[in-house]
Amino acid sequence: MQVSGAFYTPYMLDHLHFEYWQFVCIIAATFVAKVVALPGVGKIAKRYGPGVVLWMGGIGIIPMATLWLVSDSIWWLMLLQFLVGIAWACWETATFLIVFDRIHSEQRVATMTLFNIGQAATMVVGSLIGAFILEGIGLTRTGYAVVFVATGVMRLMTIFLLVGIEPRRFRLHQGVNLYLQTLGIRFGAGTIDIPHITDSSESSNTGSRA
């Protein structure tokens, strides 16, 4: 994801010469889609399990960067970003649910810390790879096309990781609910969220022990 994430903005503003309001509309499409999709995604996760939702998000994210090369129309790019928002809603919801439902509460802070460190590292490495490609080819349509195709190929490789996850393997425990507080938007890479988890079973156990 990070190979192309830093380069959507210069591609739109410097290469496609979009007006700022057009740029904002494309970004807003992702956020709106996520807000609209989250309730439905939560229902799917409860009914079929977060593993199914993880697959939906993972498959949905793979082709999106490459599809940017199909057309420069703002309507096409808004549609793509709307679909990206839905895919990221699936992926992030499933990830949070699996972590908080399967990892003991005493290990969650350490696990999420390592996860965030790894994510920050991939952001640096991915951005450097994208910058290396553009430095070698130039800030041309061909250069951006290579970046978008390269990230698409890399995303396709994640299928080998998804295959190891049985979609129906994960089933939510009763009483686990997820609420996401959105702090910001990372263009092409979802939103920055803080998860809030409520677990009625833990609350009831705590109450009974008290």
**Alpha-carbon distance 138 to 143, whole Å?**
6
Q: Which helix (H) or strand (E) holds 178?
A: strand 176-185
Nearest to 55 by CA among 87, 25, 21: 87
Q: What angle do CA 135, 140, 146 make, to 5 degrees?
A: 70
* CATH number, position 121: 1.20.1250
* Long-range contacts from 163-166, C-beta under 8 angstroms, 24+ separation: 165/51, 165/54, 165/55, 166/51
pTM of this structure:
0.76
Q: How many structural domains does the chain have?
A: 1
Query: pLDDT by residue for the chain (210 residues), tens digit each?
Result: 888 888 888 899 888 899 999 999 998 898 889 888 888 888 888 888 888 888 899 899 999 889 999 998 999 999 999 999 999 889 888 888 877 777 777 887 888 788 889 888 988 999 999 999 999 998 888 999 999 999 999 989 888 888 777 656 655 555 555 555 555 555 555 556 555 555 554 444 444 333
- Residue 187 is predicted with a pLDDT of 55
**Alpha-carbon distance 86 to 32, whole Å?**
9
- Residue 203 is predicted with a pLDDT of 44
- Residue 113 is predicted with a pLDDT of 85
101: tokens are 């439902």
**Alpha-carbon distance 156 to 68, whole Å?**
16
Nearest to 8 by CA among 84, 122, 59: 84
Give the ranges where 6-49 is alpha helix by DSSP (H).
8-10, 20-48
Domain that holds residue 152: 2-209
